Structure 1
Amino acid sequence: MASGIMLLMLLACLLAKAAAESGDGGRTVPTTGGDVRGAVQYIKDLPDKPIHTFLGIPYAAPPVGNLRFRAPQPAAPWEGVRDATKPGPYCPQGPVIFHLFPFKLHHYDFDEDCLTLNIETPTVEKDAELPVMLWIHGGALAMGMGYVAPFAALAAQQDVVVVTINYRLGALGFLSTGDENAPGNFGFLDQVAAMAWVQENIRNFGGDPDRVTIFGESAGGVSVGSQVVSPLGKGLFRRAISQSGTYNTMKVEQKPLQIATILADEVGCEAKDTALLVDCLRQKTQDEVVQGCERMMKLRSGEWGKYFFATLDGTFFPEHPKDLQNQGQANEVDYLLGVNNHEYGFVMPSMVNPNFGQGMTEDNFIRELEQLIERNYPGTKKDSIVAAAREVYRDHDNPDDPMAVQHQYTLFSGDQMFVAPTVDTAGEHAESGSKVYLYELHYTPSSHSATRSEWVGCDHGDDLPSMSGWPFLDIHLTAGGVLPFSPEDRKFSRDIMTYWANFARTGNPSDPTGGPADSAVVAEWPQYTPGNPAYMKLGLTSSADVGLYPERMALWNDVIPKLVASSDKEEL
């Protein structure tokens, strides 16, 4: 009798599960926190291949109240089946992010209860063991969200599991008092917690925890590079991809308490000591903190404002990341990294100066050179550095043409911020004996190039639509209609997704082993080594070359550091 009752109960459970998973095709999957039920989506060129999608899964507890300005804590388990068909709130930030994206988002909600992740996968079979690609979004560590638009095309075309995450931003993610009251790097610690969650759970979503690749763009690339050198990243991923940013793209804040005090003043907290300062900041609403950060950032004011950056917290960064790299303490992972060919072409300078694009005088260029050097090397004698930089960045055919001067300025700024740090990191990581692949991306999607002047190349962020597979989706615009893409856009997107997924599978972007039979055939990508600094020019027709802008890179990675060191010695 008892066995009959148990059989009926089991049958009822199976029927209930079948009913729950019928209709839209959503599947229920167990996690360490409880069961989650997702939905399915399809891409245009693979209409019969469902991509199982799970959104808004908590990977850590809400960092609110006394947990604000602390390392992430485990998420509380839940009973029953959690609905995972909608993304969770975005981490608190200013509304400027909505103006940067011209397309419709899933929602427009900010909340500190934002430590969630999203999964898109072709299968939820435990024994599938597909490579996992964990995306870390950009946004200067101050803005952005994990799930802007689906990665369904990447998952479907390349048979990979894609995970996207939210992490704390701005002051809530990176404020530091330089001591135990607020060590800092909370956003990086959130990323570590998300990677640990993936290790524990991703098999249930068809993924292989031993083949996790973290990838990100801009501040996401900075985050990836930081995870590569941090001891906390050890064993959590096998490969890394940094797009337009690495650990030395953004500075490590040496005097974080000064920045924390500026925010405290903005929101009305007295800084008698760090414990009281942090306690006061915990009492402020998220909007008060965010608005204080916005006033500090001074976007579109023509000035460079104050941002919250990484710090030497003793845990995530026990030493300066440059020292960790040089001492051979970086994680031994395969590393693919690179830049676009016009990183500071239009988007970023326009965020600082809304009148950018009308040309530049020689005097303005020199002034910009001096200001940048003062920001990055305060107290250094500028004349010799300015002279060396102006010699390298000069259009000798049109030295007085305002548009030519402006173009040289964009190359100068892009090299300083993105290209030189990336080439430096590639060399350092290759010296450690790990595999490295370097690239420069030349292709701009037609939807971007149609709205810009012809002198703008492949700008910062232009790689995102291609790498994400947007040309195979309907990306709905806020003004109506969908984002237009051409056959060339789809061809390049297919190529770049193939390179990225090949790397995630095998550690070699050219090796298709284990990939889909209908994957794109791509050109051979040589490995970057100290003796052969090869890189790939990625475009509609990709090709390999050796030595990415050697004269310009020598200026930033050799000449200027020596001039700065010489200036420091003179001061002594």
Structure 2
Amino acid sequence: MAMLGILAAVAVFLQTVSAASLGVVNTEGGMVEGKTIRLGLLRTMDVFRGVPFAAVPGRFEKPKPHPGWDGVMKATAFKSRCLQLDITLTNTLGSEDCLYLNIWVPHGSSVSTNLPVMVWIYGGGFLAGASMGANFLDNYLYDGQELADRGNVIVVTLGYRVGSLGFLSTGDSELPGNYGLWDQQAAIAWVHRNIRAFGGDPSNITVFGESAGGASVNFQILTPHNKGLIRRAISQSGVALCPWAVNHNPRKFAEEVALRVNCPTDSRMAACLKMTDPITLTKAGTIHLSGSPDQPIVNNLILSPVIDGDFLPDEPSNLFHNAAEVDYIAGANDMDGHIFTGLDVPSVNNDIVETPIEDVKRLLGALTKEKGQLGLENAYSTYSSDWGSNPSWQKVKQTVVAIETDYIFLIPTQTALYLHAEKATTGRTYSYLFSEPNRMGGLIAPFPIWMGADHADDLQYVFGKPFSTPLGYWPRHRDVSSYMIAYWTNFAKTGDPNSGDLKVPVAWPKFQNTDHKFLEINAKTNSESVNEMLRLRYVHFWASVFPKLPSQ
């Protein structure tokens, strides 16, 4: 009997100490209550879904503070994504009432305090996306549980307006644009003001994101409106210098949208657009997603941020002084451009047909057209220099993917790293190349046997999918995921990806303008994965040779 009593007492003790929870949290808008989940002995997590960070936004207006609520808001379900086109580009999903965020807070034997905070900004070409990400059988891509638990950090994901409602601009004060960026900024500021109540450290906020989210992260550290709010930042496959990240002639597309919704294109245009049905506006903001070597899709991504004199007072390349004290990681995937190349030059994915050299020239001609024939000749000689006299089919196909990877993602990222390192005072700079081969390579079209890491392939590893859905992955994938979670969360804690609670496979050196060191991340990451001067010949061409050629 005595033994039974002891066991019962131990059980009660364990029940008590392992149930750490924040309970009801008081925020500036009112009280919220999430859901507590058990992660094992002495470990729990509070999850808050659908916490409002701003009011329902006005059409083409900056976000405003939420008016607040009475009683306790149950924050247990994801809210609707922002109104956007669906995958067919002919219909819509989502709602204008979409400025909500989600929070994952891990606890040990007692309630957490002063944890580093990681704020995620999703990608989707500024046209689509959601704070919870794609969903398969209730398995959300941007579920923060694994990252928060393994890294012992708070993870926040936020919603922001996309498409016409987020980025349509007339290029003047009538419709200045950048509403989606203001939404992100409002969410970051809300986190800064409120996260202490959730156990977070408001002085240690890391923003991270991928693709348009990676570019957004870069915009958020470049704008003067975030001074003192962001300590660190990670841009995955996207920076503010990408050719699709800023639209320098927004009025042209605004007029096209106006004509599609029967609005005039004169001084009455903005007022008419503001009164137009939001679904009609969203549908009118569709873009062409069919490409060709002469008309690559990257040139169609025109619903994007603008230099408005407010959020972005100048060209992004002139704003890096604002990020001088921010620690910054940026990188790309080794075949980031593949997703675009497959649409622009479909033969690259077909192993039984040749990709004509003429298609390579047509694509390069479209990407260098501002420099005319001279631009094309210089680009072609740069990319064909290691072909020999008779390049294999595979070599040509891989070159086409490399061209779009370089142009759309890798070269702008290297430029952003260079500018950050040049302007940094206390901010540290780190560069990476993610190269874990696509899991479908050689198994299913459109992924050829030679596939590296395609665009967005890194997301599953950062969010710990090989751990949460282990049957879908091999042990090497869990290695990749553990490396990325370690580097990312160590960095969030200390500003140094090597220093924190988690062990890393190799020390990742800083990127400095003297040596341009970078880390290659894949399942085999080891001491040989540290290199310098990533794709030097191609960086030199796009950053130094190409701009100096006379314009046509």
Bin of the TM-score, shorter chain as denominator length = 0.7 to 0.9
**Matched residue, 2:495:** 507
Q: Does 1:265 align with 2:259?
A: yes
Aligned to 1:558: 544
Q: CA deviation at 1:535?
A: 0.5
1:281 and 2:273 equivalent?
A: yes
| TM alignment of 1:127-138, pairs within 5 A | 128-138=113-123
Distance 2:28 2:111 in 1: 15
Q: TM-score, normalised by structure 2?
A: 0.87
Cα distance, 1:331–1:281 mapped onto 2, change above 3 Å: farther
> Is 1:37 equivalent to 2:33 in the alignment?
yes
1:299 aligned partner, one-letter code: L
Structure 2 matches for 1:359-370, cutoff 5 A? 359-370=354-365
Contact 2:331-2:413 within 8 A present in 1 as well? yes
Q: Which ranges of structure 1 fall in alignment gaps of 5 or more residues?
A: 1-22, 100-107, 375-379, 475-481
Work out the percentage of aligned pairs sharing the same amino acid. 34
State the secondary structure of the residue aligned to 2:65. Answer: coil
Q: Distance in 2 between matches of 1:438 and 1:496?
A: 13
User: Contact 2:239–2:245 at 8 Å: present in 1 too?
Assistant: no
Distance 1:24 1:445 in 2: 39
Counterparts in 2 of 1:141 and 1:483: CA distance versus 1, 3 Å: farther
Which runs of structure 2 are paired with 1:417-566 in the superposition (5 Å)?
417-433=408-424, 434-444=427-437, 446=439, 450-451=443-444, 452-474=447-469, 484-512=472-500, 515=501, 519-542=502-525, 543-563=529-549, 566=550
Task: Tell me what 2:319 maps to.
Answer: 324
Q: Provide the residue aligned with 1:153 in structure 2.
A: 146
Measured in 1, the distance between the counterparts of 2:551 and 2:290 equals 33
CA distance in 2, matches of 1:450, 1:151: 30
The answer to whether the 8 Å contact 1:446/1:486 transfers is no
Report the AA paired with residue 538 of structure 2.
R
Deviation at 1:114, TM superposition (A): 0.5
Residues 271-420 of structure 1: pairs in structure 2 closer than 5 A: 271-273=265-267, 276-294=268-286, 297-300=287-290, 302=292, 304=297, 305=300, 307-325=302-320, 328-345=321-338, 347-351=339-343, 357-358=349-350, 359-374=354-369, 380-394=370-384, 395-397=386-388, 399-420=390-411
Separation in structure 2 between the aligned mates of residue 507 and residue 196 of structure 1, nearest angstrom: 20
Distance 1:411 1:322, change over 3 A: same
The 3 A distance-change label for structure 1 pair 127 and 460 is closer
Specify the alignment match of 2:11 in structure 1: none
AA paired with 2:113?
A: A
Quick one: distance in 2 between partners of 1:98 and 1:341? 28
Unpaired segments ≥5 residues, structure 2: 1-18, 134-139
Q: Matched residue of 1:440: which SS? A: strand
Question: How far does residue 352 in structure 1 lie from its aligned partner after superposition?
Answer: 5.0
Instruction: Determine if contact 1:26/1:39 at 8 Å carries over to the other structure.
Output: no
Shift of 1:528: 0.8
Query: Aligned partners of 2:129, 2:191: CA distance in 1, in Å?
Result: 21
The Cα of 1:349 is off from its aligned counterpart by: 2.8
CA contact (8 A) 1:234 1:331 kept: no
The answer for the alignment partner of 1:16 in structure 2 is: none
Structure 2 counterpart of 1:333, which letter?
A: V
Contact kept in structure 1, 2:196 and 2:202, CA below 8 Å: yes
Instruction: Provide the residue aligned with 1:3 in structure 2.
Output: none
Amino acid of the residue matched to residue 129 of structure 1? N
Separation in 2, partners of 1:291, 1:49? 46
Which residue type is aligned with residue 439 of structure 1? Y
Deviation at 1:552, TM superposition (A): 0.8
Contact 1:510 1:522 in 2 (8 A): no
Alignment partners' CA distance in 2, 1:262 and 1:190 = 25
* Alignment check: 8 A CA contact 1:25 1:39 kept: no
Match of 2:46 among 52, 67, 85: 52
1:69 and 2:60 matched:
yes
Q: For 1:183, give the aligned amino acid.
A: P
1:4 matched to which residue of 2? none
Q: Map of 1:136-175 to 2, 5 A cutoff? A: 136-148=121-133, 149=140, 150-175=143-168
Provide the aligned C-alpha RMSD in A.
2.5
CA pair 85-353 structure 1, distance change in 2 beyond 3 A = farther
Shifted more, 547-556 versus 442-451: the winner is 442-451
Measured after TM superposition, the shift of residue 50 of structure 1 is 2.1
Please list the CA deviations of residues 26-75 of structure 1 after superposition, one character each: whole Å capped at 9, or x if unmatched.
832111001111113456xx576322110111111111xxx211111111
In structure 1, how many angstroms separate the alpha carbons of the residues matched to 2:111 and 2:390?
62
Which letter maps to 2:256? Answer: I
Instruction: State how far apart, in whole Å, the 1-side matches of 2:545 and 2:230 are.
Output: 35
1:364 alignment partner, SS class: helix
Q: How does 1:199-278 map to 2 (within 5 A)?
A: 199-249=192-242, 250-273=244-267, 276-278=268-270
Letter aligned with residue 69 of structure 1: F
The CA deviation at 1:548 is 0.4
Aligned to 1:177: 170
Aligned partner letter, 2:24: T
- Judge conservation of contact 1:300–1:354 (CA < 8 Å) in 2: no
Contact in 2 for aligned 1:445/1:485 (Cα 8 Å): no
Distance 1:86 1:27 in 2: 16
Secondary structure, aligned partner of 1:128: coil
For 1:146, give the aligned amino acid. S
Equivalent positions of 1:119-130 (< 5 A) are 119-123=103-107, 128-130=113-115
Q: Tell me if the contact between 1:34 and 1:81 (Cα under 8 Å) persists in the aligned partners.
A: yes
User: Matched residues in 2 for 1:473 and 1:98: separation?
Assistant: 32
TM-score of the aligned structures, taking structure 1 as reference length: 0.84
Alpha-carbon distance, 1:127 to partner: 6.5
> In the alignment, residue 432 of structure 1 is paired with which amino acid?
K
Indicate if the aligned counterparts of 1:228 and 1:331 stay in contact, CA closer than 8 A. no
